[in-house]
């Protein structure tokens, strides 16, 4: 669980579907912004649905945020919206659905769902999943709208032969 903002839910208490709206207050948003290296986090909301899944829980939903970052080109702060989907399954440690580290060759199937997260305790932190998904959407080199990166390479130094030719052409 994160210290910035927590919303714990016990896996053992998940018997039916729940819908939750998470919205941290200004102090919690400031702590999350600091954790993520943002200038500020003016807005963050998440609408989540929790459903029992096997012996754990399935968390689905969407978050929306407004983040303030420094422009990678001009170093000026600017705000921009971010949004993303959340789709996670969590099971307790020791669950038959918990694929511990596979041995041997690993096959990668990009279309297959992610394996479930394994919770070492009975409690999971919904806020931590929202912050994790927000962090994945943040562009570390965000550019303020309208700012262009204008790079001009330094002039190529003349080769020694070009200098000699120039001296010969400029001669008496």
> Is 112 among the domain residues?
yes
Where does residue 136 rank: exposed (0-12), middle (13-18), buried (19+ CB within 10 A)? Answer: exposed
pLDDT digits (tens, 9 = 90+) for 37-61: 999 999 999 999 999 998 899 999 9
Per the structure, the complete domain to which residue 55 belongs is given by: 8-169
How far, in whole angstroms, is CA 73 from its chain's centroid? Answer: 21
Distance between CA atoms of residues 88 and 50, nearest Å:
10
- How far CA 137 is from CA of 85, 142, 149, 172, in Å, comes to 10, 11, 22, 67
The number of helix segments (H) and strand segments (E) in the chain equals 3, 7
**pLDDT of 1 over the 50 cut:** no
Query: Of the spans 14-23, 141-150, 158-167, which averages the highest pLDDT?
Result: 14-23
pLDDT at 93 exceeding the cut of 60: yes
Mean pLDDT of 8-23: 93
Say how far residue 67 (Cα) sits from the centre of its chain. Answer: 12
Write down the pLDDT at residue 172. Answer: 61
The per-residue pLDDT for 144 is: 93
Domain count, the chain: 1
Q: Examine residue 117 and state whether it is found in any structural domain, yes or no.
A: yes
Q: Tens of pLDDT along 105-159?
A: 767 788 877 889 999 988 999 999 999 999 999 999 999 998 888 888 888 877 8
The answer to the question of residue 132 being in a domain is yes
Q: Look at residue 2 and tell me if it is in a domain.
A: no
């Amino acid at each position: 669980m994160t210290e910035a903002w927590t919303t714990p839910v016990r896996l053992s208490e998940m018997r039916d579907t729940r819908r939750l709206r998470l919205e941290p207050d200004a102090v919690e948003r400031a702590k999350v912004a600091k954790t993520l290296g943002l200038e500020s986090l003016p807005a963050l909301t998440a609408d989540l649905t929790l459903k029992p899944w096997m012996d754990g829980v399935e968390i689905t939903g969407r978050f929306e945020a407004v983040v303030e970052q420094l422009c990678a080109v001009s170093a000026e702060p600017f705000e921009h919206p971010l949004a993303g989907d959340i789709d996670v399954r969590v099971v307790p440690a020791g669950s038959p659905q918990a694929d511990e580290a596979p041995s041997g060759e690993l096959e990668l199937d990009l279309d297959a769902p992610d394996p479930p997260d394994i919770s070492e305790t009975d409690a999971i932190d919904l806020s931590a999943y929202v912050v994790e998904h927000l962090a994945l959407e943040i562009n570390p080199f965000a550019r303020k709208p309208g700012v262009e990166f204008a790079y001009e390479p330094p002039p190529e130094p003349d080769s020694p032969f070009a200098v000699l030719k120039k001296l010969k052409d400029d001669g008496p």
